[in-house]
Amino acid sequence: MQNTTLRRINVPHNHRQTDPRAETAVPVATLANRLSTLKNRLTGKPNVCPLGDYPSTIVDSQGCEFGYEMFYHVPYAYHLAKRGCLQRTVSCLGTQCFYYFSPDHREVYDRRKLVKYLDSIAQKPHQSPAANRWEPPDFAGHYRNTVDFHFPKPPLLIFNKYNTEWDHPPVNFLSPQLLDRVVETMSERFSIVYLRPTTHIVHDHMPVGDLNEKTRLREQGVILAEELYEHFSHLSFNEFQLGLLARSRHRVAVQGGTSYLNALFPGQLRVLHRFGGEQMYGNYNDFPRMGVTDFSVHNSEFELLEQLEGFKQLDRNAA
């Protein structure tokens, strides 16, 4: 049977969290917890190990979609770590940096998939995270000094994607026409860094397409993330992304996993959302709790472009 002796580890205090419940005593394994652990083992869920009111002290992402892992598993695991209750984390290749606080992180999944029930947190996707066991880590503080990119201007990060969604052609993506307008209006004030990874990351079950936009962006002076990464390949690509995010206060993303990752960092974030459950189920309402300080969602590229003008004004005032 699972050993319920849990060791406490030192985790830096997250300045965004002031909930006194995080300082209460470590819960005790009950007989019901032990019986549930045994049942889970016998039914093929060996990584589900409840403790007190916690669904599991082993946090297994099950290879779920990236956004859900950032939204649910990472903050839940961090809360457990601060309480001294985290035994192990299990996730996809290249995820060690997201669980820097874990005493035992294992990378076992080489592809992401749709998961309809998240066993470690006993929730379905799109449900609001349970507030009493949800604490986003301070990624910005932890990774701010990972690397200095020496950008000549404040960085503006653009996260795009172009892949099949819900078995349909791409829906949520920034068009080449919009990207041209962003470069035209923003390049004077910002060093623009463009991220639409096609390698270096673990993909999910949806095929990735090509917008054929990168050659033109390079010619316009935009920094392509995968080419910048060649100078920092001693880091994993996810560490590289975290380092970029930690040094940026201005970001654009699209519906999907990277919008959740961006929400874990302070600064201004604008998201293009044409379709998806986040608006229907209210997930975007939780984004300010994740750490982003100025956040808005836009259903058209026209609305998004209008809002980006505020980035220029904020940066001018800050200077």
pLDDT in tens, 266-319: 999 999 999 999 998 999 999 999 999 999 999 999 999 999 888 866 654 443
Helix (H, G, I), strand (E, B) or coil at 194: strand
Distances (CA, A) of 39 to 1, 3, 33, 126, 303: 10, 15, 10, 27, 51
Distances (CA, A) of 101 to 5, 124, 161: 18, 25, 29
Query: Which residue ranges in the chain fall short of pLDDT 70?
Result: 1-24, 202, 204-205, 312-319
Beta-ladder partners of 165:
168
In this structure, the chain runs to a length of: 319
pLDDT of residue 208: 79
Name which of 297, 281, 291, 287 is nearest 127 in CA terms: 281
Distances (CA, A) of 87 to 79, 141, 147, 207, 307: 12, 24, 30, 34, 44
pLDDT of residue 26: 76
| Chain center to CA of 93 | 15
Cα-Cα-Cα-Cα torsion 161, 166, 167, 168, nearest 10 degrees, comes to -70
pLDDT of residue 21: 43
Distances (CA, A) of 295 to 142, 151, 264: 22, 24, 11
Q: At what angle do helices 176-186 and 301-318 cross, to 10 degrees?
A: 20
Percent above pLDDT 90 for the chain? 74
Distances (CA, A) of 74 to 60, 176, 284: 10, 33, 17
Q: What are phi and psi of 306, to 5 degrees?
A: -60, -40
Residues of the chain with CATH 3.40.50: 143-318
pLDDT of residue 312: 66
pLDDT of residue 314: 62
Residue 13 CA to residue 16 CA, distance in Å, equals: 9
Name which of 254, 252, 295, 253 is nearest 275 in CA terms: 254
DSSP percent split of the chain into helix, strand, coil, nearest 5: 35, 15, 50
pLDDT of residue 313: 61
Residue 210 CA to residue 215 CA, distance in Å, equals: 12
* CB-CB contact of 12 with 78 (8 Å): no
Element (H or E) spanning 295, and its range?
strand 294-298
Could you tell me the fold of the domain covering 143-318? Rossmann fold (3.40.50)
Task: State how beta strands 191-195 and 268-272 pair.
Answer: unpaired
pLDDT of residue 19: 47
